[in-house]
Amino acid sequence: MLEITNLHATVADKPILNGVSLHVPAGEVHAIMGPNGSGKSTLAYVLAGRPGYEVSEGGATFDGRDLLAMEPHERAAAGLFLGFQYPVEIPGVSYLQFLRESLNSQRRARGEAELSGAEFIKLAREQAKLLGMDAEMLKRPVNVGFSGGEKKRAEMVQMGIIQPTFAVLDETDSGLDIDALRIVGEGINRIMRGAAKGVLLITHYERLLEYVRPDKVHVLQAGRITRSGDIELARDLEREGYAEAAA
């Protein structure tokens, strides 16, 4: 589903990714762990097409298509979803308005009928309930006044509404308390577990992985994958740190 081959990328002319190769088949969840500055968020942004992140070598395909040749909105319409480490605030735009426009723009791009206002409100309320979020919060401006945990729950509501085929989740566990961590983990499983879907989950910590149970765990250090394994690798990292993983 997602194939990354010898990917090199720079930010402000500084090399960050130094030959990342990774294959995430359909139906699997892969986790990437690594220390600060290792290139985890850069990888997420390159896949999503964020401006300023320049690919100097290598490539990436998504469902057989050249991902890097697509504009960001084309990647989204093709089914790619990016969960931000720090979700942005958009004053003056209600979350409901934002979500409806996001969903319907993708449906238009795929030649699907747009949802009516009533259909969308029903869908939004259902998804908010599943994530333990008060649907009234979706009437507020996007992320304005939200706590860190509320922002991440709202992002999971967004993912549930849009129903992408592949999600790149950048430190979704950041800012979550114990209960929210479980709810978000269950939400990832409910929304993204399926034979035709995939997830690349970026995290510092093993705790979220106990809920999501990834098929593979990879260690990213100095812009390269240095080690891969199962969830036991994540547990080893939690106990021993990243220096041992590089050995």
At 238, which CATH number? Answer: 3.40.50.300
Band of residue 32 on the pLDDT scale cut at 50, 70, 90: very high
Computed over every residue of the chain, the mean pLDDT equals: 91
Q: For Cα atoms 237, 239, 244, give the angle at the middle one, nearest 5 degrees.
A: 50
Its sign, for the CA torsion 112, 163, 71, 22, is negative
pTM higher than 0.85:
yes
Whether the predicted pLDDT of 245 surpasses 80: no
SS (H, E, C) 50-70: CCCEEEEEEEEEECCEEHHHC
Question: Looking at per-residue confidence, does 113 or 173 come out higher?
Answer: 113
HSE-up (13 A, CA, CB side) for residue 135: 11
Q: Note down the domain range covering 77.
A: 2-245
**Predicted local distance difference test score (pLDDT) of residue 70:** 96
Which 8-state DSSP code applies to residue 173? T
On whether the CB atoms of residues 80 and 60 are closer than 8 A, the answer is no
Whether the predicted pLDDT of 67 surpasses 90: yes
CB neighbour burial string for 182-218, b if at least 16 within 10 angstroms, e if fewer: bbbbbbbeebbeeeebbbbbbbbebbbbebbebbbbb
- How far apart are alpha carbons 198 and 25 in whole angstroms? 7
Where do the H-state alpha helices sit in the chain? 40-48, 72-77, 95-109, 117-130, 148-162, 178-192, 209-212, 231-240, 242-245
HSE-up (13 A, CA, CB side) for residue 149: 13
Domain total in the chain: 1
Average pLDDT estimate for 119-125: 93
Average pLDDT estimate for 148-153: 85
Look up residue 111 and give its two tokens.
């030649």
* Residue 167, φ and ψ in degrees, nearest 5: -120, 130
SS (H, E, C) 191-213: HHCCCCCEEEEECCCCCCHHHHC
